[in-house]
Structure 1
Amino acid sequence: MEEGNRTVVYLAEQVVVLVSCGLSLAGSSLIIVTFLLWSDLRTTPRRLLVYLSLSDWLSAASYAFGVWKVFQTDSVDCVVQGSVSTFANTSSFFWTVSIAVYLYVLIVRCSQRGADSLEPLFHLVSWGVPLIVTVAAVSLNKIGYDASEVSVGWCWVRIHETDRVLWMLLTGKIWEFLAYLILPVLYVLIKRHIHKAHAALSEYRPILAQRPLAHSFSSMADRKLTLIPVIFIALRIWSTVRFILLLADSSARQSPVLVTLHGIGNTSQGAANCIMFVLFTQPLRTRLCNALFCCCCCCCSKCRAEAQDSHSAPHRQLLAQDTSSQREEEGTSQARTDR
């Protein structure tokens, strides 16, 4: 399994991770497209989700390039790919936490104005900090070939740098650890607040609280609030495990199963967000189904029209020939009559 200080990335692992990248690219694109298509969806939470999707799209694209190439040494494209993925991945952490902070201020603090006023700060932190960290790492020649020891073919922090652990922390891991801590706390506080509010509403308005539709929406929102930190941790934990195994100098970090899970986890955030916030959202799902249905109907109508045209074209041609022949015969007859 080991070839010096390098983790082998097998073809099957490449294929699986590339498929995961493709799904994430498609999911992130779908979130962005739905936001652009329907103006009533352009709320602040959705806009923050679009910024997160932009980061996830860029991250998945850079990871896909790295997995496809499976870099074997330092090169210009290795450094570029490692820089882009470092920036996008770190930005994704910040935007994920920013959405949680926004929902906390909006729901628990009951301050729409306060939550909306945080958006400029979110931009400053979520784009600025990753950019500063990435520029510093590239300037100091820290980004490059990492022998897939804490990646799956792509480039990150140079594996032979003496201070590689420090730069791995600065360019991703420390923000990942903070997200592990912050996200569950914020979403637990939000869920507690919602449950208390729902209990108070049930006490004073029992008829409304027992409505099936209201209960359905409440249950869906509750499941989403539970799933957001759970899915984030479930996807990202495998890269953390490999990082810890690297610190312990354990060969278990090179296990094909662990490498594959790491690749899937790091590249699936966009697909997971699409499933939660598009496919599991009834109004959006209905709109997408209607749009797909209309597209299919238009395509079928167009195909039928083209088929009818192609089928009737020979008949029209024969009719034109018959008409032309008839006119020639009439002309000949008229000429004979004149004589």
Structure 2
Amino acid sequence: MADDNRTEVFVYEQIVILISCALSLLGSLLIICTYIIWTDLRTTPRKLLVFLSVTDLLSALSYSYGVGRIFDSNSVECITQGAISTFANTSSFFWTVAIAVYLYIFIVKSSQRLADSLVLYFHLISWGVPLAITVAALALQKIGYDASEVSVGWCWVSIQAPDHVLWMLLTGKIWEILAYVILPVLYILIKSHIHKAHAALSEYRPILHSNPVSSSFSAMADRKLTLIPIIFISLRIWSTVRFLLLLLDSPARQNPVLVTLHGIGNTFQGAANCIMFVLCTKPVRVRLVALLCCRSISSHGVTESQSQHRGGGDAPSHAEDRNRPQVLGE
């Protein structure tokens, strides 16, 4: 493809997308760290969200490198970055669908055992298929410079490959389009079931057994998890639009607004998940704020606590921690 057909990436677009990458990177790390720090958050739905966050983290890293470099040839760096983003991006599609499938079986079919038994298959498919596709694309030299025709500075499928449309489908777009069909169907079925069985939600959430409050938190978390497909579609649709415009050979694919939305959509999912399942989830948010506050005043708090203990004062009570219900934390 001639250089005059290259989609120009402006400096302001680079800045906006790099900020989006940074937020997604931080958001993904925060989801992973909260899972590691608090053991009672290590439920299967939360674990699936962590795997999705790992792919979002890899995507953010690879995309930020590509946007920062703005590749203009099939260099080794370009191909390496393109391979990493291809694997991470495709894996993200599979994990997003896997979460929806898990929730459908868990909530609608009321079978935690069946849902949990699928986790191994989720791993085999969500890691294995993207890896196989990426290795095949690398072996056949299909990954490389794409003139930002369906990217924003980063590398993906080489635009010079005669069968580049086929490989764009295989390395992402076909899975993305399938997700647009599968996710809304599962989402509607889940929401319909929850609406009909609202009064008996605890019966459909056999994750926790400690107390009724735990079941209520679990139900709330499950409802939030169903929003993952909505986040996915609203962010990813812009890249699909640009792909369709490429097939139509429309110059509209180079529109700066559309290019910016594409860049944000491909890089912001980690941040969006963090906002939904950490910052906007009270149990996790309260713990996070308490952790940060405790660290900031530790030098004063530890001294005061030790003084009270030596003086026969009341020791800090852990009754609240013992009585606090375990939650999914999503």
Under TM normalisation by the shorter chain, which class is it? Answer: 0.7 to 0.9
Question: Which position in structure 2 is the counterpart of 1:110?
Answer: 110
Query: 1:311-322 to 2 correspondence within 5 Å?
Result: none
TM-aligned CA distance change 1:122 to 1:219, over 3 Å? closer
The superposition leaves residues 103-139 of structure 1 with CA deviations (integer Å, 9 ceiling, x where unpaired) of 1111111111101100100000000000000000000
1:7 corresponds to: 7
Contact in 2 for aligned 1:191/1:225 (Cα 8 Å):
no
2:197 corresponding residue in structure 1: 197
1:254 is matched with 254
CA separation in 1, counterparts of 2:199 and 2:298? 49
Alpha-carbon shift at residue 154 of structure 1 (Å): 0.2
Aligned to 1:232: 232
**In structure 1, what is the Cα distance between the partners aligned to 2:299 and 2:180?**
47
- Structure 2: how far apart are the matches of 1:190 and 1:92? 21
Opposite residue 262 of structure 1, the aligned amino acid is H
Q: 2 CA distance for matches of 1:282 and 1:289?
A: 10
Contact 1:62 1:84 in 2 (8 A): yes
Instruction: Give TM-score scaled by structure 2 length.
Output: 0.83
Alpha-carbon displacement from aligned partner over 1:304-332 (angstroms, at most 9, x marks no partner): xxxxxxxxxxxxxxxxxxxxxxxxxxxxx
Whole-angstrom distance in 1 between the partners of 2:81 and 2:222: 38
Q: Is the 8 A contact 1:55 1:89 kept in 2?
A: yes
What is the rounded CA distance, in whole Å, between the counterparts of 1:84 and 1:219 in structure 2? 36
Aligned partner of 1:295: which letter? R
Name the structure 2 match of 1:18: 18
3-state SS, counterpart of residue 160 of structure 2:
coil
Partner letter of residue 38 of structure 1? Answer: W
Q: Residues 264 and 179 (structure 1 numbering): CA distance in 2 closer, same or farther, change over 3 Å? A: same
After superposition, the CA RMSD in angstroms is 2.3
Q: Work out the CA distance in 2 between the residues paired with 1:117 and 1:226.
A: 20
Residues in 2 aligned to 1:200 and 1:36: alpha-carbon distance in whole angstroms: 31
Distance 1:159 1:79 in 2: 13
Following the alignment from structure 2 to structure 1, what is the Cα–Cα distance between the partners of residues 283 and 294? 17
The within-5 A match list for 1:136-285 is 136-198=136-198, 224=224, 227-285=227-285
Deviation string 1:215-258 (CA, Å, 9 cap, x unpaired) is: x9699558635632222111001000000000000111011111
| Cα 1:294/1:94, change in 2 over 3 Å | same
Aligned identity (percent) is 70
The change in CA–CA distance for 1:69 and 1:94 in structure 2 (over 3 A counts) is same
Q: What's the counterpart of residue 333 of structure 1?
A: none
Q: Distance in 1 between matches of 2:60 and 2:284?
A: 24
**3-state SS of the aligned residue for 1:161?**
coil
Q: Aligned-pair distance for 1:22? A: 0.1
| CA–CA distance in structure 2, aligned partners of residues 219 and 117 of structure 1 | 21
Q: Distance in 2 between matches of 1:220 and 1:44?
A: 15
Alpha-carbon distance in 2 for matches of 1:222, 1:121: 21
Q: Is the 8 A contact 2:103 2:226 kept in 1?
A: no
Give 1:314's aligned residue: none
Give the structure 2 partner of residue 332 of structure 1.
none
Structure with bigger gyration radius: 1
Matches within 5 A, 1:49-88: 49-88=49-88
- Please say if residues 235 and 264 of structure 1, whose CA atoms lie closer than 8 Å, have aligned partners that are also in contact: yes
Question: Contact conserved, 1:79 with 1:143, CA < 8 A, in 2?
Answer: yes
What letter matches 1:283 in structure 2? P
Distance 2:40 2:263 in 1: 36
SS in 2 for 1:4: helix
Corresponding residue for residue 327 of structure 2 = none
Query: Per-residue deviation at 1:200?
Result: 6.5
How far 1:196 moved relative to its partner? 1.1
* TM-score, scaled to structure 1: 0.81
Whichever residue aligns with residue 26 of structure 1, its letter is L
How many Å separate the matches in 1 of 2:242 and 2:30? 31
Counterpart AA for 1:257:
V
Output one character per residue of 1:57-112: Cα deviation in whole Å (capped at 9) or x when no partner: 00110000000000011100100000000000000000000011001111111111
Change (3 A) 1:200 1:294: closer
Check whether the contact 2:100–2:226 (CA below 8 A) recurs between aligned residues.
no
Distance 1:64 1:78, change over 3 A: same
DSSP-derived class of the 1:141 partner: coil
For residues 253 and 7 of structure 1, what CA distance do their matches in structure 2 show? 8
CA drift at 1:199: 5.2
SS of residue in 1 equivalent to 2:297: helix
Q: How many residues align?
A: 291
- 1:187 to partner: Cα distance: 1.2
Shift of 1:195: 1.2
Q: For the Cα contact (< 8 Å) 1:187–1:225, is it kept in 2?
A: no
- What amino acid is the match of 1:27? G
Instruction: Structure 1: give runs of 5+ residues left out of the alignment.
Output: 202-212, 303-339
